[in-house]
Structure 1
Amino acid sequence: MGSDGENLKFKRETLLNYGMNRWGLNKAQSVGKTSELIRKCAPNSFEEWKSYYFNNATQKKRNGIKITREFIRDLGQKLYVKLSDVVQNELGSIQEEECIDYAYNLVLNRTYEGYRSEIETIYGQLESILGVKVQPAPDEWDRTFNVDFYIEVGEKFIGLQIKPISSGQALNQYQWIKMHEVNHEKYRNKFGGQVFFIYSVKSGKKKKIFNVEVIEEIRKEIETLKKD
């Protein structure tokens, strides 16, 4: 089995990795918490790590039975059976149209879904912070005024445009404001409220409002419209 201590490269590594992940053969329940184990071991050599692993790693799904070299070999055999039987059968039945549809869905549909999810997460945060109802704008408002959401204050409406940005992206608010200045002014003249840009950025697995100062600006606009 392989050369000890060397991180080998495999010609079909993408396929092998896919199989290991798909059937959970490398999960903690099968091979133990390897990241946690190696930190506890803090080895100075591969031999030290190998010895520590086989002496301490246990199978979570088998009531803590110790992991052996034979068990690792068995995992490899299971992987072979899965790839040579299940995956080969799936490859034999795949259709060209399915691949075309998948590529289209991945590039367009899934990207758009992620984008909308990020926007909806942000407006949910706004509702919680401001204590007001934030509603999706009608399609006509989106097309005519570039407004994604709105807040109703009496008979007037504050417009919101949410823009996801990359964490390392330079934020040029002036550019966005100038680009939509005319449409947003038309919105204000018609509905009485200003339009605010809200920029969202990923923070780990979550999304958060980047320009947090806009929250207070929106709050002030709400109070102003209530007085009018």
Structure 2
Amino acid sequence: MKKVAKDFGSHELLLNYANRRWGLTKTSRVGEVMALIRECQPSTFEEWKEWYFEHAYTKAKYPEKVSRECLQELGNRLYQKLKDTVIPQVLDSVSRLTEADCVDYIYELTICRTYDGYLTEKSIIYNELAKKFPDVTFEETDPELDHAGDVDYLGKIGEKAFGIQVKPITANASLGNYSVTARMQSSFRAFEDDFGGKVFVIFSVDDHIKNTEILDDIQSEINRLKSL
């Protein structure tokens, strides 16, 4: 099959970083693109493109139709964010970067942040979720499981289970910085096929849940699994 996506070369790293940082292609801005293309089942690129602009709506409280002009406006915003914020920050960082910084970073990432992340996971699961949902048994995923890299804990309800992934973020970070990759979406679907339950991504700040609205979604999933 002939692919159509453009290769942005060395620009890709900066474009991807800024796009994710400000969440410019989140479903709230461009719609549920993967769900749309699966619904469309296009045989050609032109068929998919026409379908998208006919059926795409932002996933928001008040959905709006997505147009070519909407995508152009998002591209304009991406350019301004890169020019006004990202590039100056990168140039300043590069000018002050030392070899010692790189050595320290590798050590910190491998040893220190792994330990901190481990403590955060324990705190989120056992100090918050286990107390919020006392009838659920939480267990670490088996490292041998196909999903272990994408699912940190199982929430067991009888023979069924839902999954939890814990993502530590800084206190002033935007949740738009994080998006589920196509690979992870596939892994989450495979998990649901195996265990019956969905996978929930929890963002933590200072060992507490930041996206607390997800607790209602987890409760709904618990109720659904109990009814099976």
> What TM-score do you get using the length of structure 1 for normalisation?
0.49
Rg comparison, structure with higher value: 1
Q: Name the structure, 1 or 2, with higher relative contact order (CA <8 Å, separation 6+).
A: 2
> What TM-score do you get using the length of structure 2 for normalisation?
0.49
